[in-house]
Amino acid sequence: MPKAKIEGFMVEDMVQRSQAFELILGMNEDPQFGPIILFGEGGTAVEVIADSTLELPPLDLKLAHQMIARTRVYRRLRGFRDQPPVNLDAVALTLLKVSQLVVDFAEIAEIDINPLLADRNGVIALDARLRLKPARGPAHQRLAIKPYPKELESEVELTDGRRYWVRPVRAEDEPALVQAFGDLSPDEIRQRFKVSSDVMSRQMTARFTQINYDREMALVVTEYLTPGKGEILGLASLAANPDGDKAEFAVIVREDFYRLGIGRILTEKLLAYAKGRGIKELAGEVLKDNTSMLNLCSDLGFELLESPKVQGVVKTRILFK
């Protein structure tokens, strides 16, 4: 541009990472599903190599690592012969950051980072392109999957004065849930979930941690640490019907944290969430010998009805006006 006014230059060192892999990370909008995250092997031959995978945002660390593992280049990223393994945590964190940008800003229509260099020291973007457009509404409205509801996080105080964190469950919480349920007796598992099992199975924990926040909710009481790092003391889950007017719930508390108000805290939080979502009826089933849960439900205004079909089970129900 002959008439361009040059006010200065920016000079940077040439990136020298001889053992780095060239990756691609991007985002585009699909007319039906909205934003879609792309990851794979990048470089100038990206179209020829054709090694990429897609995922709907928002991502979490577990989904990011699964996304990386679906590519063919993943086996080389783990290291081979004299090639050291790539810092996969840094790659996954970069996927999370791009995902969060998409979740937060409706103006982002396209992202193209190629190449994204990755080695044992981390990642660095050599070339990036961002296309913007006017937002048609809040960013979350264009997502096929509802993002993590951070607004439901809060600090709570137990009856003994200790403070913990109540927040929606994340996929990373699965190991902590397995540990929490591993400390429960078979009778407690039977009382809460009406199944005979000595331990909490992987299928059962997946039921609570891998959820669609648009139709389901699970709240946990935990330490204020990175998800998956802190102990889980209790859990309350809710699953709504397709119409969104009725939902079923369940609550479980670790035995060593009984009588500290955790069950009440979780149930009250779940009631507030259900009412705020416009749910008209919240119901559950409690074994007749689970007197502590029955007393709590009665105190919070639930109607208690013995099941005419299943012996030893009490149906609990509350209607919202």
| pLDDT tens-place string over residues 301-310 | 999 988 777 7
Instruction: Give residue for tokens 């927040």.
Output: 167
What's residue 263's pLDDT?
92
Provide the CATH topology of domain 21-142: D-amino Acid Aminotransferase; Chain A, domain 1 (3.30.470)
Neighbour tally for 111: CB within 10 Å: 19
Tell me the per-residue pLDDT of 4-61, one tens digit each, with 9 for 90 and over: 888 888 777 777 787 899 999 999 999 999 999 999 999 988 899 999 999 999 998 8
Which of 175-184, 191-200, 258-267 has the highest mean predicted lDDT (pLDDT)? Answer: 258-267
Could you tell me the two tokens for 311?
């012996």
| In contact, 234 and 270? CB cutoff 8 Å | no
Classify 50 in phi/psi space as left (phi over 0), alpha (psi -120 to 50) or beta. Answer: left
Give the confidence band of 212 by pLDDT, cuts at 50, 70, 90.
confident
Greatest alpha-carbon pair distance for the chain in Å reads 87
Tell me the per-residue pLDDT of 227-237, one tens digit each, with 9 for 90 and over: 778 899 999 99
Neighbour tally for 36: CB within 10 Å: 16
What's residue 179's pLDDT?
83
| In contact, 314 and 304? CB cutoff 8 Å | yes
Strands 108-119 and 52-55: unpaired
Residue 162 DSSP class: -
Tell me the per-residue pLDDT of 239-260, one tens digit each, with 9 for 90 and over: 898 888 999 998 988 888 988 9
Amino acid present at 235: L
What's residue 109's pLDDT?
94
> Residue 285 CA to chain centroid, in angstroms?
27
Q: Tell me the CA distances in angstroms from 301 to 36, 164, 213, 287, 296, one per residue in order.
A: 44, 26, 26, 18, 9
What's residue 2's pLDDT?
75
What's residue 188's pLDDT?
62
- Percentage of residues of the chain with pLDDT beyond 90: 54
Instruction: Output the average pLDDT for the chain.
Output: 88
Comma-separated ranges of CATH 3.40.630.30 domains in the chain: 150-319
Span 306-319, mean pLDDT?
83
Q: What are the beta bridge partners of residue 29? A: 35
Give the confidence band of 201 by pLDDT, cuts at 50, 70, 90.
low
Give the confidence band of 225 by pLDDT, cuts at 50, 70, 90.
confident
What's residue 258's pLDDT?
87
Mean pLDDT lowest for which of 106-110, 175-179, 199-203? 199-203
Closest by CA to 64, choosing from 85, 92, 32, 30, is: 92
Is residue 161 over pLDDT 60?
yes
Span 309-320, mean pLDDT?
86
pTM listed for this prediction: 0.72
Q: How far apart are CA 267 and CA 300, in angstroms?
A: 9
CATH code for the part of the protein at 150-319: 3.40.630.30
Neighbour tally for 75: CB within 10 Å: 10
Could you tell me the two tokens for 199?
């331990």
Comma-separated ranges of CATH 3.30.470.20 domains in the chain: 21-142
Tell me the per-residue pLDDT of 8-22, one tens digit each, with 9 for 90 and over: 887 777 777 878 999
Tell me the per-residue pLDDT of 67-78, one tens digit each, with 9 for 90 and over: 999 999 999 999
